[in-house]
Homo-oligomer: A and B are copies of this chain.
Amino acid sequence: MDEFDLIHRITPKKSHQNALVMGIGDDASVYQPHSQCEEVVCVDTMVERVHFRFDFSTPYEIGFKALAVNISDIAAMGATPKYYLVSIAIPPHGDEEIVTALYQGMKALADTYQMDLIGGDTVSTRSDFVITVTVIGEIPKGTACYRQSAQTGDIVFVTGELGSSAAGLSLLMNGVAPVKSVDTAFFLERHKMPQPHVVAGQICSSFPRVTLNDVSDGLASELNEIAEASDVTVEIEADKLPVHADLPLLNDKWLEWVLFGGEDFVLTGTIPEADWTSFEKQCKEKEVKVTQIGQVVHDQYAGVNLKENDQQTKLMKRGYNHFKK
């Protein structure tokens, strides 16, 4: 692989952000931050055979997802993604075609958000691809959505639908769906090319007291993080959890996908009850699906409770607590 040729191929020919002063091509990139904003930064790494497999996803899809998971973290702060940097460690089986497609997948998603690629590194490794993406976003001062401000009485919500990504992964691992009429392509795409919920996050940040997480590790884990950081107890109701109509057809244990599957990259959080109607209205206007799934039930962290058929179960970060109340 000719490194100079590769860098030439992947270097953007034009930029979206007017605030970009110097893009790729010097020792570092330079941009002018928005004077009324704070900067929001995160980094995430995906490793071949740990986080993705070339027999499950195309290089384009893998690139798309590597950027998507980072944009999702920016969305979970309520911020707007602006710039990204990509570092790829390339093993011997990684030819130029694969690497170019990885960057194309990222660029496709980046263009949706007018994001600019402003840096990176391509290095060799001996065994597996390692893809590290850094994303920088901006948010109006003081409006970022953290985890620690939930209070008793707040409504617990989720954007979009849950469990679809885990269903897609299960279909990839186990082959065809048990029911012919199910549109498996939908679930596969949710797993392979998840869409970060940036607009939903922006709506959240326009309200004064919203807690927010993106559902990367599973709903139970994310809500436990919020409950713990806010020192409150959260209660959610199984029959309110939004899922695709076909999800229950795929597996009897679909509720496990919903609660613990993760990688849906929707947003979950809390908002004061007084703001709920206005929040719902704004979501509707921006075509963001939002669902009330529960409530903050009392002060002090005692986990996340699931109500299902008049039974209460305590949801741990990674599974049920089988010592039921």
Which A residues lie at the B interface, using CB under 8 A? 21-22, 26-33, 35, 37-47, 49-51, 73-74, 76-77, 79, 83, 85-87, 89, 118-121, 123-128, 130, 132, 134-137, 139, 141, 144, 146-147, 212-214
A30-B22 in contact (CB<8A) = no
Q: Closest Cβ of chain B: how far from A231's Cβ, in Å? A: 15
Query: Which of A37, A132, A137, A141 is packed against the most chain B CB atoms within 10 Å?
Result: A132
From A212, which residue of chain B is reached at the shortest CB distance?
B27
Q: How far is the CA of A37 from the CA of B28 in the complex (A)?
A: 15
**Known A-B contacts A125-B47, A134-B43; A30 and B38 likewise in contact (beta carbons under 8 Å):** yes
* Contact residues of A: prevailing secondary structure: strand
> A136 to chain B: which residues have CB within 8 Å?
39, 41, 136
> A135 to chain B: which residues have CB within 8 Å?
28
> A85 to chain B: which residues have CB within 8 Å?
41-43, 134
**Known A-B contacts A87-B132, A123-B51, A144-B22; A41 and B27 likewise in contact (beta carbons under 8 Å):** no
Q: How far is the CA of A116 from the CA of B156 in the complex (A)?
A: 33
From A267, which residue of chain B is reached at the shortest CB distance?
B27
Q: How far is the CA of A29 from the CA of B137 in the complex (A)?
A: 10
A123-B40 in contact (CB<8A) = no
From A73, which residue of chain B is reached at the shortest CB distance?
B27
Q: Closest Cβ of chain B: how far from A4's Cβ, in Å? A: 10
> A31 to chain B: which residues have CB within 8 Å?
38-39, 41
A33-B38 in contact (CB<8A) = yes
From A90, which residue of chain B is reached at the shortest CB distance?
B47
> A26 to chain B: which residues have CB within 8 Å?
76-77, 146-147
B28-A76 in contact (CB<8A) = yes
Q: How far is the CA of A33 from the CA of B19 in the complex (A)?
A: 14
User: Can you list 11 A-B contacts (CB < 8 A)?
Assistant: A26-B76, A28-B41, A28-B73, A30-B144, A39-B136, A41-B134, A43-B120, A45-B89, A46-B123, A47-B124, A125-B127
Q: Closest Cβ of chain B: how far from A88's Cβ, in Å? A: 8
**Known A-B contacts A130-B125, A132-B45, A132-B87; A40 and B35 likewise in contact (beta carbons under 8 Å):** no
Q: Closest Cβ of chain B: how far from A324's Cβ, in Å? A: 26
Which of B21, B121, B127, B137 is within 8 Å of A127, CB to CB? B127
Q: How far is the CA of A26 from the CA of B123 in the complex (A)?
A: 30
Q: Closest Cβ of chain B: how far from A26's Cβ, in Å? A: 5
B43-A119 in contact (CB<8A) = yes
